[in-house]
Amino acid sequence: MSTAEKRRPRRWLRWLLLLTLAGAALLGKGYWNATRDPLIRTATVEVGDWPEGQPPLKILLLSDIHVAGPDMPPERLDRIVGELNRLNPDLVLIAGDLVSEKRSATHIYTAAEAVAPLGGLRAPLGVVVAPGNHDRWFEPDALRGELEKRGIRVLQNEAVKLGPLIVGGVDDDYSGHDDVPATFAAMDRLGPGVPLLLTHSPDIVPDLPRPVAAAFAGHTHCGQIRFPFVDALTYVSRYGDRFACGDIDDAGQRVFVGGGLGTSLLPLRYNTPPDAWLITLKLKAIAR
């Protein structure tokens, strides 16, 4: 055997080692992205019929927490809750998918374990949840019971008046439990107030019978895995990237779509960091 022939297997081994190391580095980066502290994104919504004398209110939007091992154990969520409380929100809205049963999970937590850290959220107007598809696929009654036990309100095609706000919560669209007309009827019964809508999937927005001051959603994870020049594999929306992520003006309707705190399918994120939104509602400035 010639010297060149002897070296050829070593060359292949080197390439195999390099590819293995590159793959491990890529996976490690994705996991680090998924487990980093959430970015706090901010925005302001000016409301024309804001109640006279009412100071601005801060709304904290969370979504897609997906409590499951390895990336979102309850201990991590508990630490995040402590950080979020420092933002001093007036109201916390959670746009569904509190849990996850993904196949890549190293541990599936009980409803009580998953919900317990959320009981630490502090906001004068309270904490409101609209269920997501994973909550529906998990243990919906157990989750609702654990949330209500901790003073967290669950809205399933229902509405509640909180201070000057009327919050409608639409049940999960992705699993077919949504009822937008029933939600708006419930909002109407509560009388005057600044209307807000909470939903897991933003896909209900085109079906709204009338505009609200702001709609809050999640579900898309902002794509979760996005690479340059490729974009996301999916936004899990029948509207493609119309409601992909962030602060959206959809034909005059203001929509906030959170990127989520946890992950779905794989505990990896690329170019889509975990996030939460802090939105200030205030009186619309009068043009001079």
Q: What is the pLDDT of residue 135?
A: 96
Task: Enter the tokens of residue 29.
Answer: 């980066």
β-strand pairing of 165-170 with 194-199: parallel
User: What does the pLDDT look like over 43-82, one tens digit per residue?
Assistant: 999 999 999 999 999 999 999 999 999 999 999 999 999 9
Mean pLDDT of the chain: 93
User: Residue 98 — very low, low, confident or very high, per pLDDT cuts 50/70/90?
Assistant: very high
Q: Amino acid letter at 198? A: L
- CA atoms in the 13 A half-sphere facing the CB of 234: 6
User: Residue 96 — very low, low, confident or very high, per pLDDT cuts 50/70/90?
Assistant: very high
8 Å CB contact between 34 and 267: yes
Q: What is the pLDDT of residue 28?
A: 79
Q: What is the pLDDT of residue 1?
A: 53
**Where do the structural domains in the chain lie, given as residue ranges?**
1-35, 37-283
User: What does the pLDDT look like over 117-167, one tens digit per residue?
Assistant: 999 999 999 999 999 999 999 989 999 999 999 999 999 999 999 999 999
Q: CB burial class (10 A; 0-12, 13-18, 19+) of residue 209?
A: exposed
Q: What is the pLDDT of residue 213?
A: 98
8 Å CB contact between 128 and 155: yes
Q: Is the pLDDT of residue 7 over 70?
A: no
Q: Is the pLDDT of residue 14 over 80?
A: no
Q: What is the pLDDT of residue 262?
A: 97
User: Residue 16 — very low, low, confident or very high, per pLDDT cuts 50/70/90?
Assistant: low
User: Residue 23 — very low, low, confident or very high, per pLDDT cuts 50/70/90?
Assistant: low
Q: What is the pLDDT of residue 271?
A: 94
Q: How distant, in Å, are the alpha carbons of 42, 137, 184, 223, 262 from that of 74?
A: 26, 19, 34, 24, 11
8 Å CB contact between 195 and 212: yes
- Kindly state the percentage of the chain with pLDDT values over 90: 84
Residues forming beta bridges with residue 247, ordered by sequence position:
256
CA distance 121 to 127: 7
User: Residue 230 — very low, low, confident or very high, per pLDDT cuts 50/70/90?
Assistant: confident
Q: Amino acid letter at 87? A: L
Average pLDDT rounded to a whole number, residues 173-177: 96
User: Residue 101 — very low, low, confident or very high, per pLDDT cuts 50/70/90?
Assistant: confident
Average pLDDT rounded to a whole number, residues 193-211: 98
Is the domain spanning 37-283 CATH 3.60.21.10? The answer is yes
Judged by phi (left if over 0) then psi (alpha if -120 to 50, else beta), residue 100 lies in beta
Q: Is 94 helix (H, G, I), strand (E, B) or coil?
A: strand
Q: What is the pLDDT of residue 99?
A: 97
Give me Rg for the CA atoms of the chain.
22
